[in-house]
Structure 1
């Protein structure tokens, strides 16, 4: 373990624990590496910052440090595990310090290096951070004493801190939030079902995703300072995919319900929707009673399907997982009406390439939210904060006007 006490350099060591079977010639459970070393910052982004010195820390002081190693084998894909605490176990906050790891991945040229922020989460009286193998952590052996990695710490609070760094070949057994994983990865994996215009669709010219939900999620991702990895899939599998960790979250005009909230969680609502009855232009359907004597189609897993099952006794009811197929079914007379979210119905009714209209609206007043895993309060808080900002700064209204006008 490397132990740094702010204001001094302690000749301690870093321990690399070989906790899993490994192809290297490691003969003991641990390998002792060289002592902590103050770093000459001249080759790193930002120039020659002060190294660890013998003065007490002051607010916003920055220090660079590294660890030297002396290995008889190479380890690829290690986890760098960092803990930060205050001397005496004082209460610590994630706002007290900022920790960075030097990112060498671009090239061997120091001009291409950058400092990458290591997310730190509070766990009792310590802050925890992990740089997983995706950060290109490799301990190489070329017969010399090699640099483990370069760190930079910025103190935002006047206090004495202890920083511990270990490298392991297996994931650390410490609580890591999904938000921290997302931020370390640099991207959020988002599931959605397309097409479901105007919420999600594929642009015919660019072949890119577009729509209300797409723009909302792009705003949220920007607030989290990550990119988006879109994962299109059918609607029903979205729920299991979030629950099992296949995706980080899902946005797809998903209605917030108590039943869905049992297995997953939701962000705060970002849209309130009703159901509309989409029919052919020559249809005589105009009342609820008319629907009871009709052949209806709904979107599988949607509020429309649930509402028909709970409130109507139609001649037939066919849930489909394909929105365009349901629309064409009404257009071609296979079904009498499509019960679907109002914006979706309006999108097709206003499209002159179809002979369709909205017969009437069913006021369900359901709310849409972003589907997230249960027990991930940090991710929920971050997404809720982004949605609240979107509402306050007018971005959400702009998105809705652009797509619903």
Structure 2
């Protein structure tokens, strides 16, 4: 018999959409895939070359569980330079992707009776990772008019004696919005007063637009640094999704516990990928800026086009590579005998009618929205938008 925890969780909706789109493509359908959160650029050459060198040098054996010193030092250097946070090697754990880092945190911190506050819209894995560790996700609603940032007064209302942590994601998946300094400071004060932890997912920090800047909540003070676990990785910034390198930085005792957990699950991240990650962090960063500029161009085009489609309104996101348009005006309409009563209905309709794959807002805890990834070519964006426009014209 399966355990109770397996009944609490569901497959990742974003990966399910991607899988369905690929299945349709394999059958010969010309599907435009706006569903997956994966840069469409190749991994930069100097990173690939570092991996090839690692293989040729025979760097293909086990490494220390928590990552090689060379990579930890590169991460420490990056965190101090980019985020103004100082750590030592005992504060760093390298894992098999940022998702693995988050799961290690959940394993180390959460248990029966614990509550974890998760602002919605949220990345799909946050609630399920909490549930997998027998804790309770407490969903905190945020609002489009606030750029989906937490309202401090609503956060206070959600905190109980059982609250263990809050998860912050900035820039956000799925909304693309960034937390500003004022709201972060208010969150810091609430967290310190209530003696809870912050899990700060900063995986999209390099993809920020309009001259805005990313602020890590751990940089506000030594006191809040001791209550924060920062999560980051190289998948989005350096187009290294398949390399599976993420990392966490936090208090020594928590990182030690996470390392012990990792030693009994995956052991070390891939040795070759670790060497590639060193090259990514310490090598030229021009490739990151080139990707960022291209994403910004795509974002501008996509938001403009979406706002010209009747029934859709889309605010300009500040980071990541997603837009999160409001489609509430479309809900309640019909396509023949099919009623579009939810974001899931709309997603199914657009996949079947227009052969455009995207993710319903309900997957992120935000009904009435859809997520479109612009980690695809301008040609695909243009084709997909035209198909969406034509498909929606057929609704009554």
Q: TM-score range by the shorter chain?
A: under 0.3
TM-score, reference length from structure 2: 0.26
TM-score, reference length from structure 1: 0.26
Q: Relative to total residues, which structure has the larger strand share, 1 or 2? A: 1
The one of the two structures with greater contact order (alpha-carbon pairs below 8 A, sep at least 6) is 2
Q: Relative to total residues, which structure has the larger helix share, 1 or 2? A: 2
